Amino acid sequence: MLGVWAVEWWTAERVVSAAAAGQLVVVVVAALYARAQVREARRLREEQARPFVVVDFEPGDKPFVNLVVINRPRWVGQGGRGGQGWMPGGSGAPRGER
């Protein structure tokens, strides 16, 4: 008797409305996911636009000390590209940039 009731309940109109409700759920989930992706892209773009400034003191002619200010790409400060970050005054400094 349960099978007959289920067959009678699943009319064409109900199947179409269930499919439309399912499609609405999928569209809402996709819109929320797209919104999150746009927010993340905006955050990354703003982060990459910010300068990464390194301030260092280097010994100069006695009794003076040189103040060196360098604007580096953002990835350098995060230790990216092979895990070798650049440190002021360290051995990882690129040649010819001092």
Cis omega (within 30 of 0) for bond into 63: yes
Tell me which of 2 and 8 has the higher pLDDT. Answer: 8
| pLDDT tens column, 32-90 | 999 999 999 999 888 878 778 888 999 888 888 999 998 876 665 555 444 445 555 55
Together in a domain, 6 and 38: yes
Together in a domain, 34 and 62: no
Q: Which residues of 71-83 are buried (b: 16+ CB within 10 A; e: fewer)?
A: eeeeebeeeeeee
CB of 90 within 8 A of CB of 76? no
Together in a domain, 35 and 55: no
Residue 84 lies in a domain: no
**Residues in a beta bridge with 66:** 58
pTM above 0.75, yes or no: no
| pLDDT tens column, 71-86 | 876 665 555 444 445 5
Residue 36 lies in a domain: yes
Task: Tell me the residue range of the domain where 68 lies.
Answer: 51-77
Question: What is each CA distance from 37 to 3, 31, 42, 46, 58, in whole angstroms?
Answer: 45, 10, 9, 14, 44
What's the pLDDT score for residue 21?
97
